Amino acid sequence: MKRNSLTLAILMSCTGLASNAHADDTKLQAEVDALRAEVVELRGLVHELQSQRAPAQAASPVSGAALPNAPLPSAFAAANAVPAPAVSQPAATTAAGDAIPGTGGSGLALGANTSLWGYGQLDYNRPTKRISDTQADLTRAVIGFNHVFDENTRVYGELEWEHAVASSTDRGESEVEQLYVEHALAQNYGMRVGLTLVPLGLLNEHHEPGNFYGVERNFVEQAIIPSTWREGGVSMYGNTDWGFNWNVGIGTGPNLGAWDPAADEGRLSPLGSIHQELQLAKARDPSLYAAANWQGVPGLLLGGGVFTGKIGQGDAVLPVNRSRLILSEAHLRWQPGPFDFSALYTRGTISNTQDLNLQFLGQPTPVPKSFWGGYVQGAWRALEWGSDSSLSPFLRYEMFNTAAAYAAQPQGLGTAPLPTQRVWTLGANYYLNPNVVFKVDYQKFRYEDLVLGYGNRFDLGLGYQF
Amino acid sequence: MQSRWLIPVGAAVAAQAAFATQYLSVQQAQQEAFAGASEFRLVSAADAAARAAIGAPAGWAPQVFEARAGEKKLGWLIVDQVIGKSEAITYALALDAAGAVISLEVLDYRESHGSEVRMPAWRKQFVGKTAADAAALGREVKIISGATLSCRHLTEGVQRLLRWYEVALKAPA
């Protein structure tokens, strides 16, 4: 359209010019030359405008992904006819773009710049020796949103309900799991401010049920790295063309002053029991983290990270101010063909816990000096139906200890370190499609602990994500 | 397989904001794939029979360019979109005159995670593939951990375009 108007304008100019053709040839030639130069300039401008417009169209927000078996995902907003895309000179032959409008919303778009996503997980756990403890649970239902302010800035959030019902008399929880503003500073790096996931391990940042094998998340990345672990603060991230990704941040950390020596939670997950989740978080002592991954060879992931900070948070009562947490981890994932192998090792220490533990004498759960865990896992996409459905059996072996050592304790009055737990998990993920997964597994524990929920069990699960 | 992630590409929209990293413009992708081209001729993708043959979703409107050097046909550059996890990925697939992949470029990426599909090492897996390889690509292309959906859906997008070549662009034998 624009092009046509332009041509018309040029033709009209030419007509006007022709009417003055009585002037001498030299003058005419000069005017033709001037006009020709103008046409070239205009053509350049048109191309520039087109190349500016083409990316803008390409960047138009999409109405979201489709649910399996749902109607086709929505298109861009429904106008038609792709305008002439950016082309190099000479001008392209412009065919009419498809005049087929988009198919309308799939239910995930909230206006042009906002989209919704989500995932959920339902579990059934049947302890083989204590069948009366069999439990079914809507473990989590999550709604996430992504709202774009401009080309470089957005807000990203994840809202979660755990265990179906959250109220003062129920055991469920309602929580904001992520909420941050992200600003891209350049193509390859940017920053986030708000509540973000700590980038440690294989699972914490990718915790949707379709991303892990087994009904429950592995123990190591619950007990030692307390997935889903998030902190409030500022972080920077970036990547390179050769597959190196990095993420560093400064922000809140756990609060050792909240340690409850009478409860079992500290033995289940030392950091899980004192993480603050940006809930009126005590924030005197900032923590730092840094993580890096290399994925330069397709199918291979090597990475690791460290989280450290003083975690006393200025507690006036407890002698915790010199205590420092250091949690580090390294991981590997290798996915050759239908196979999927992964391994992870993590270890944490909390310093200067001796005086604190003296105050906890006689209580069942002192603060550990060290805790660690690791696992190896192999999975095999054994069967496939079409390109969407597949069955992947897997086997995982985990070792972990949430209280491998305590600082020196008064003789005869101390608490013994915990024995190392070892868990075998054998099971399968059946992907009805890549976003809906049915899971089954059997878990065999080295030792039982009724309080911590350790004991051989059979699990069934359903997960989805969109 | 077709293909819930293969979103139809629109169409003109009023200016809208979109968090997107643009790595290449369409024009840059054209130049990189066909440095010797003198012309990029926009080809209609409206052939209903061909669309039906590949199961193209309604509203699917890739931008298909025929790259030419004078009268010589060099190949095609097709700009299309798929959904990564929940946002669109704009990509350009360059095919030579025989329909083999010259390059796959990610033009725009909008997800907070998974942009590793941009890595040359990952995209290189598609080079040389033809429509005959399309079916096997889903199994052969290695997935990047943490970018599973982006990898999978982009692979499906390439499969779709290879099939499109077969039914709509390939010169009759």
Say whether pLDDT at A329 is over 90: yes
Distance CA A199, CA A52 (A): 36
pLDDT band with cut points at 50, 70 and 90 for residue B1: very low
How confident is the model at residue A102, as a pLDDT? 26
Q: For helices A25-58 and A2-19, give the axis angle rounded to 10 degrees.
A: 170
A429 in contact with B, Cβ within 8 Å: no
A315 in contact with B, Cβ within 8 Å: no
How confident is the model at residue B23, as a pLDDT? 85
Token pair 């709604």 is found at A143
Shortest alpha-carbon distance between residue B173 and chain A (Å): 25
Distance CA A181, CA A175 (A): 18
Distance CA B144, CA B119 (A): 10
B48 in contact with A, Cβ within 8 Å: no
For chain A, counts of helices (H) and of strands (E) = 5, 17
Number of Cβ pairs < 8 A linking chain A and chain B: 270
Minimum mean pLDDT among A88-92, A338-342, A349-353: which range?
A: A88-92
Distance CA B45, CA B62 (A): 7
Say whether pLDDT at A139 is over 80: yes
Task: Give me the mean pLDDT over the A269-294 stretch.
Answer: 95
How many other CB atoms sit within 10 Å of the CB of residue A252? 23
How confident is the model at residue A357, as a pLDDT? 94
Instruction: Provide, rounded to the nearest whole percent, the portion of chain A with pLDDT above 90.
Output: 63
pLDDT band with cut points at 50, 70 and 90 for residue B12: very low
Say whether pLDDT at A337 is over 70: yes
Task: Give me the mean pLDDT over the A372-380 stretch.
Answer: 98
pLDDT band with cut points at 50, 70 and 90 for residue A43: low
Distance CA A187, CA A240 (A): 10
CB B122 within 8 A of CB A298: yes
pLDDT band with cut points at 50, 70 and 90 for residue A316: confident
Indicate the residue type of A307.
Answer: F
Residues of chain A with Cβ-Cβ distance to B4 below 8 Å are 65-70, 72-73
Residues of chain B with Cβ-Cβ distance to A56 below 8 Å are 15
Helix (H, G, I), strand (E, B) or coil at A31: helix
Distance CA B22, CA A53 (A): 13
Most confident stretch, A19-33, A80-94, B52-66: B52-66
| Residues within 8 A of B (CB atoms), A 163-182 only | 182
The helix or strand, by DSSP H or E, that contains position A74, with its residue range, turns out to be none
How confident is the model at residue B173, as a pLDDT? 66
Q: Do B16 and A77 touch (CB under 8 A)?
A: yes
How confident is the model at residue A210, as a pLDDT? 92
Residues of chain B with Cβ-Cβ distance to A112 below 8 Å are 13, 16-17
Say whether pLDDT at A105 is over 70: no
Q: Do B87 and A62 touch (CB under 8 A)?
A: yes
pLDDT band with cut points at 50, 70 and 90 for residue A67: very low
Minimum mean pLDDT among A93-97, A114-118, A179-183, B47-51: which range?
A: A93-97
The HSE-up count of residue A130 (CA atoms within 13 Å, CB side) is: 11
Identify the domain containing residue B31 by its residue range.
21-167
Q: Which fold has domain A114-465?
A: Porin (2.40.160)
DSSP B44-112: ----HHHHHHTTPPTT---EEEEEEETTEEEEEEEEEEEESSSSEEEEEEEEETTS-EEEEEEEEE--S
Distance CA A138, CA A163 (A): 5
Say whether pLDDT at A103 is over 60: no
Length of chain A: 466
Q: Do A151 and B20 touch (CB under 8 A)?
A: yes
Q: Do A59 and B22 touch (CB under 8 A)?
A: yes
How confident is the model at residue A16, as a pLDDT? 45
Distance CA A454, CA A404 (A): 17
At B84-139, the pLDDT tens digits run 877 789 999 999 999 999 999 999 888 767 778 888 999 999 999 999 998 888 88
B112 in contact with A, Cβ within 8 Å: yes
Residues of chain A with Cβ-Cβ distance to B122 below 8 Å are 298
> Residue A430: exposed, middle, or buried by beta-carbon count in 10 A (0-12, 13-18, 19+)?
middle
Q: Do A57 and B12 touch (CB under 8 A)?
A: yes
Give the residue among A303, A278, A188 at the shortest CA–CA distance from A228: A278
At B52-73, the pLDDT tens digits run 888 888 888 899 999 999 999 9
Residues in contact with A53: Cβ distance below 8 Å, sequence separation at least 6, in sequence order: A83, A86
Say whether pLDDT at A202 is over 50: yes
Phi, psi of A179 (to 5 degrees): -160, 105
Shortest alpha-carbon distance between residue B168 and chain A (Å): 15
Residues of chain B with Cβ-Cβ distance to A202 below 8 Å are 145
Instruction: Provide, rounded to the nearest whole percent, the portion of chain B with pLDDT above 70.
Output: 87
Whole-complex ipTM: 0.73
Distance CA A31, CA B167 (A): 51
Phi, psi of B129 (to 5 degrees): -70, 150
Q: Chain-centre distance of CA A448, in angstroms?
A: 33
How confident is the model at residue A49, as a pLDDT? 60
How confident is the model at residue A40, as a pLDDT? 54
The helix or strand, by DSSP H or E, that contains position A320, with its residue range, turns out to be none
DSSP A292: E
> Residue B151: exposed, middle, or buried by beta-carbon count in 10 A (0-12, 13-18, 19+)?
buried
Residues of chain B with Cβ-Cβ distance to A83 below 8 Å are 12
How many other CB atoms sit within 10 Å of the CB of residue A304? 19
How confident is the model at residue A24, as a pLDDT? 66
pLDDT band with cut points at 50, 70 and 90 for residue A54: very low
Instruction: Provide, rounded to the nearest whole percent, the portion of chain B with pLDDT above 90.
Output: 47
Task: Give me the mean pLDDT over the A1-28 stretch.
Answer: 51
Say whether pLDDT at B158 is over 50: yes
Cis bond leading into B120, ω under 30°?
no
pLDDT band with cut points at 50, 70 and 90 for residue A29: low
Say whether pLDDT at A425 is over 60: yes
Say whether pLDDT at A142 is over 90: yes
| Residues within 8 A of A (CB atoms), B 70-109 only | 79, 81, 83, 85-88, 90, 107-108
B139 in contact with A, Cβ within 8 Å: yes
pLDDT band with cut points at 50, 70 and 90 for residue B146: confident
How confident is the model at residue B137, as a pLDDT? 87
Q: Do B107 and A66 touch (CB under 8 A)?
A: no
Q: Please, what is the average pLDDT of chain A?
A: 82
Give the residue among A392, A420, A395 at the shortest CA–CA distance from A405: A420
Q: Do B19 and A151 touch (CB under 8 A)?
A: yes
Domain locations along chain A: 2-16+25-58, 114-465
How far lies A432's CA from each of A379, A386, A429, in Å? 17, 10, 9
How many other CB atoms sit within 10 Å of the CB of residue A160? 20
DSSP A97: P
How confident is the model at residue A96, as a pLDDT? 28
Task: Give me the mean pLDDT over the A205-214 stretch.
Answer: 94
Give the residue among A250, A228, A227, A248 at the shortest CA–CA distance from A237: A248
Say whether pLDDT at B140 is over 90: no
Shortest alpha-carbon distance between residue A183 and chain B (Å): 9
Minimum mean pLDDT among A259-273, B10-24, B77-91: which range?
A: B10-24
Joined tokens for residue A87: 């082309």
Task: Give me the mean pLDDT over the A127-134 stretch.
Answer: 94
pLDDT band with cut points at 50, 70 and 90 for residue A42: low
A62 in contact with B, Cβ within 8 Å: yes
pLDDT band with cut points at 50, 70 and 90 for residue A151: confident
Minimum mean pLDDT among A379-383, A439-443, B14-18: which range?
A: B14-18
Contacts by B162-165 with C-beta closer than 8 Å and gap 24+?
B162/B95, B162/B99, B162/B101, B162/B129, B162/B130, B162/B131, B162/B133, B162/B134, B163/B53, B163/B54, B163/B131, B163/B134, B164/B45, B164/B50, B164/B54, B164/B56, B164/B62, B164/B64, B164/B78, B165/B76, B165/B95, B165/B99, B165/B131
Task: Give me the mean pLDDT over the A109-130 stretch.
Answer: 90
Q: Which residue of B has its CA nearest to A241?
A: B119
Q: Do B9 and A75 touch (CB under 8 A)?
A: yes
A385 in contact with B, Cβ within 8 Å: no
Distance CA A184, CA A273 (A): 34
Say whether pLDDT at A35 is over 50: yes
| Residues within 8 A of B (CB atoms), A 182-201 only | 182, 184, 187
Instruction: Provide, rounded to the nearest whole percent, the portion of chain A with pLDDT above 70.
Output: 77
Q: Which residue of A has its CA nearest to B118?
A: A241
Note whether residue B28 is domain-resident.
yes
Radius of gyration of chain B (CA): 15
